[in-house]
C-alpha cells in the first residue's frame, strides 16, 4: 500500500478498539493523525505512543452528537496540520439492549444521536473542510454487520447502523464529482471492548457457538484487521471505490 506521508487523517472514537487501531495504522503509513473521542486520558496516551514511534498526532475531546464539538474537531485538524485528507467516522455505542416495547425514548435518541446523527455531523463538517482544501479526500463511515441484520432487543443500534447505508450512498453521490470518496465498512465480530460487553450479555457459550458455527474463520476479527481495510478504502489503491460497503466479517453474513 502506498505511503500517506504529509496527509492528514481524522478518526473519531479513537480511544479504543477499531478507532485506536485505525489511528495507529494511518500513523504507520506516514499520515498525521487527529484523534477524537470523549475519553481524554486514553487519547493523550495514544498521542504519546504514536509520537514515541516517530509519528505526528494531536487529540481533541469530542462528542459527535454535538454539532459545536464536531465543528471544533474539524477546525482543530485543519488549524493543527493545515488540511484534511481522510476521515473515519467510527464513534458509536451499542446502547441499552431492550425490547422495543420497553426501550426508553431517551435511549433511542441517545443511540441514534451518536451513531447516526453523529456520522451526519461529521460528514457535514469534514466535507466542508475537504471542499475548501480543494484536493479531494476520502471518508469512511463505520457500520456493522447489523447494517444488514437485525436482532431482538437491538432496535436502536440496528436502526442506526442501517441508516448509515443510506447516508453513505447519498453523500457519496454528492461528493464524488468533487473528488471526495465516501464508503461504509461493516465489520463483523471483532475483539473490541464493545464485543466483550456483548459476550457478557449473551454468555460465553452462545458467543462461542456463534463464532464456531456462523463465522467461516471460526474466530473473532482483530481491530488491526479492520483498520487495514479502512486505510485501504482511503488509499489511492481504492481510487475507483465510492458509495459502497466493505464487509470484513470472516464470512459471518454469508452464513446467516
For the chain, what are the domain ranges?
8-255
User: Is the Cα torsion angle 73, 79, 80, 84 positive or negative in sign?
Assistant: positive
- Residues 140, 183: contact at Cβ < 8 Å? yes
Beta bridge partners of 86: 9, 138
pLDDT at position 194 is 77
* Residue 207: active-site member: no
| Blockwise average pLDDT, block size 10, the chain, 256 residues | 90 97 98 97 98 98 98 98 98 95 98 98 98 98 96 95 98 98 96 76 74 86 97 98 96 80
CATH of domain 8-255: 3.40.50.720
* pLDDT at residue number 1: 63
**In angstroms, rounded to a whole number, what is the distance separating the alpha carbons of residues 143 and 110?**
17
* b/e map 109-134, b = 16+ CB within 10 Å: ebbbbbbbbbbbbbbebbbebbeebe
Global confidence as pTM: 0.95
> Which residue in the list 125, 157, 207, 240 is annotated as catalytic?
157
Alpha-carbon dihedral sign for residues 196, 197, 200, 204: negative
Amino acid at each position: 500500500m502506498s505511503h500517506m506521508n504529509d496527509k492528514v487523517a481524522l478518526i473519531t472514537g479513537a480511544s479504543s478498539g477499531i478507532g485506536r487501531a485505525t489511528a495507529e495504522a494511518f500513523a504507520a503509513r506516514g499520515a498525521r493523525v487527529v484523534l477524537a473521542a470523549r475519553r481524554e486520558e486514553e487519547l493523550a496516551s495514544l498521542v504519546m505512543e504514536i509520537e514515541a514511534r516517530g509519528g505526528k498526532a494531536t487529540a481533541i475531546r469530542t462528542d459527535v452528537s454535538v454539532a459545536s464539538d464536531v465543528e471544533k474537531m474539524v477546525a482543530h485538524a485543519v488549524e493543527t496540520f493545515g488540511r484534511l485528507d481522510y476521515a473515519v467516522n467510527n464513534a458509536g455505542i451499542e446502547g441499552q439492549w431492550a425490547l422495543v416495547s420497553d426501550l426508553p425514548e431517551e435511549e433511542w435518541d441517545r443511540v441514534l444521536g451518536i451513531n447516526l446523527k453523529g456520522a451526519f455531523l461529521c460528514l457535514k463538517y469534514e466535507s466542508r473542510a475537504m471542499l475548501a482544501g480543494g484536493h479531494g479526500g476520502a471518508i469512511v463511515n463505520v457500520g456493522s454487520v447489523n447494517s444488514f441484520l437485525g436482532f431482538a432487543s437491538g432496535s436502536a443500534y440496528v436502526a442506526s447502523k442501517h441508516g448509515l447505508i443510506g447516508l453513505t450512498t447519498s453523500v457519496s453521490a454528492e461528493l464524488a464529482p468533487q473528488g471526495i470518496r465516501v464508503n461504509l465498512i461493516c465489520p463483523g465480530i471483532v475483539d473490541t471492548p464493545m464485543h466483550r460487553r456483548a459476550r457478557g450479555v449473551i454468555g460465553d457459550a452462545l458467543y462461542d457457538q456463534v463464532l464456531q458455527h456462523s463465522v467461516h474463520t471460526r474466530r473473532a476479527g482483530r481491530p488491526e484487521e479492520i483498520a487495514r481495510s479502512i486505510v485501504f478504502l482511503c488509499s489511492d489503491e481504492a481510487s475507483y471505490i465510492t458509495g459502497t460497503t466493505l464487509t470484513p466479517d470472516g464470512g459471518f453474513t454469508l452464513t446467516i
